[in-house]
């Protein structure tokens, strides 16, 4: 490679890096991203033009680093939306403050989804409105009657039935910032890091006038302390308890709510389910007939089809919402496959395609409900989770009759 050309490219990279740092420091992440992207382009040219294998590898590593930095900054916005936790190789152009580090690990946004976008579950929606939406929307009325808003709510029920979507819709209904956390966002193999991240989450929530913190699969984060294998796990639960206890006192002028979802409520530490913490529990059942029909209409929307959704809703009795959407997707693949591989002129999804997907398919909930009822009974908490127990009994009886199964 021509040394002068190489030097020119390296000089351009240096210039772009300096520009990116300046934009980053001023908070203009979009322009900073564009400058890092320019750096990656020059690195790509260096990789293509150099014959030296050592240099080629160095330039390729730099290309990956700049591309990664550009992508991260592209996702960052000043108006309350922050990038999720990145790789340890990430951008290191400036020293991070504790606040910046919290925002780097956490995704916060105002969801656009509303309850009207979710099929069925009208009774559940009203419960959530009373527990979540109304305290946010009518704070003066709650203050007048001496009823405190905020606190913690546990959404529990079978997998794939919309708990996360309902939580996001609740935040959307009351125009609150939604901090959505996966267990992988919190747990760390290094002692003390997980507790630190939990603290950062609650500190971030306090920056907003209204915020909902949502812990998905809370049982994996806050299982029974008596059954925890290590002191580290007990410490993690204790930190969560401490933060929930302190949330109201440290943010008296603002309103916060902690939501959690689980498929295994019996595994959630009982200390988290007492008054002042997750003291409200809401059961999210599998979809009824009306909900299944609406889900099918959503799943088949904008697809060419000739399907009787009413009949198909009857046929999918006992299936979770996520499974019904998956049935629509798999049914669409049948005529698609025929057109591509067999050159058949079929243009629509038919009932036969849906029936083919359903043939021999067993709903996940047919095994989940019996196990859930058994676990609740073993934990001696049948009264606390009575809705789950009743739903499990009805489900097992109905599906056994309809499918000829012994459950």
Q: What is the pLDDT of residues 303-337, one digit of tens each?
A: 999 999 999 999 999 999 999 999 999 999 999 88
Q: Which are the contacts of 305, defined by CB distance < 8 A and separation ≥ 6?
A: 332, 348, 349, 350
pLDDT at residue 108 in the model: 76
pLDDT, position 251: 45
Extents of the domains making up the chain? 3-94, 108-283, 289-358, 365-403
> What is the CATH code of the structural domain delimited by 289-358?
1.10.8.60
Element (H, E) at 255: strand 255-262
Q: Which CATH number fits domain 3-94: 1.10.575, 1.10.1060, 1.20.58, 1.10.760?
A: 1.20.58
In whole angstroms, give the CA distance from residue 231 to residue 235: 6
Cα separation of 342 and 339, whole Å?
Answer: 6
Check residue 300 and give its pLDDT.
92
DSSP 266-310: GGB-GGGGSTTSS-EEEE-----HHHHHHHHHHHTTTS-EE--HH
- Give per-residue pLDDT as tens, 2-39: 888 888 889 999 999 999 888 877 777 788 888 988 89
Angle between helices 29-49 and 53-74 (to 10 degrees): 160
Whose tokens are 């943010």? That residue is: 251
- The token duo for 119 is 């099929």
pLDDT beneath 50, residues of the chain:
77-96, 98-105, 225-226, 228-229, 250-252, 403-407
Q: Which CATH number fits domain 108-283: 3.30.1490.100, 3.10.640.10, 3.40.50.1700, 3.40.50.300?
A: 3.40.50.300
Structure confidence at residue 77 (pLDDT): 40
Q: What is the pLDDT of residue 286?
A: 92
């Amino acid at each position: 490679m021509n040394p002068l050309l190489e030097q020119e490219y390296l000089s351009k990279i240096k210039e772009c890096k300096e520009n990116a740092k300046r934009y980053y420091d001023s908070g203009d992440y979009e322009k900073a991203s564009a400058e890092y992207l320019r750096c990656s382009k020059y690195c790509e040219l260096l990789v293509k033009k150099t014959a030296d294998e050592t240099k080629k590898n160095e330039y390729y590593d730099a290309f990956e680093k700049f591309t990664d930095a550009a992508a991260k900054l592209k996702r960052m916005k000043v108006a309350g939306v922050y990038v999720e936790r990145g790789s340890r190789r990430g951008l290191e152009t400036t020293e991070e403050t504790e606040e910046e580090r919290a925002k780097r690990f956490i995704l916060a946004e105002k969801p656009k989804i509303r309850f009207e976008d979710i099929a069925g579950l009208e009774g559940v929606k009203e419960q959530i409105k009373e527990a979540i939406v109304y305290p946010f929307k009518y704070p003066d009325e709650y203050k007048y009657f001496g009823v405190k808003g905020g606190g913690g709510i546990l959404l529990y029920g079978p997998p794939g039935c919309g708990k996360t979507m309902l939580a996001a819709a609740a935040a959307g209904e009351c125009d609150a910032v939604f901090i959505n956390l996966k267990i992988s966002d919190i747990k760390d193999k290094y002692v003390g890091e997980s507790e630190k991240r939990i603290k950062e989450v609650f500190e971030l929530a306090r920056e907003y006038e209204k915020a909902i913190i949502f812990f998905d699969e809370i049982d994996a984060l806050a299982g029974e302390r008596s059954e925890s294998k290590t002191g580290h796990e007990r410490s993690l639960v204790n930190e969560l308890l401490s933060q929930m206890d302190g949330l109201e006192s440290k943010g008296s002028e603002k309103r916060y709510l902690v939501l959690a979802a689980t498929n295994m409520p019996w595994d959630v530490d009982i200390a988290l389910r007492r008054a002042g913490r997750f003291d409200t529990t809401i059961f999210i059942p599998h979809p009824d007939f009306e909900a299944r029909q609406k889900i099918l209409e959503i799943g088949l929307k904008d697809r060419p089809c000739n399907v009787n959704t009413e009949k198909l809703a009857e046929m999918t009795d006992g299936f979770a919402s996520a499974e019904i959407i998956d049935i629509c997707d798999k049914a669409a693949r049948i005529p698609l496959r025929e057109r591509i591989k067999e050159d058949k002129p079929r243009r629509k999804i038919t009932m036969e395609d849906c029936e083919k997907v359903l043939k021999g398919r067993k709903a996940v909930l047919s095994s989940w409900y019996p196990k859930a009822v058994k676990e609740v009974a073993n934990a001696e908490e049948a009264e606390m989770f009575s809705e789950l127990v009743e739903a499990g009994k009805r489900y097992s009886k109905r599906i056994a009759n309809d499918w000829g199964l012994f459950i």
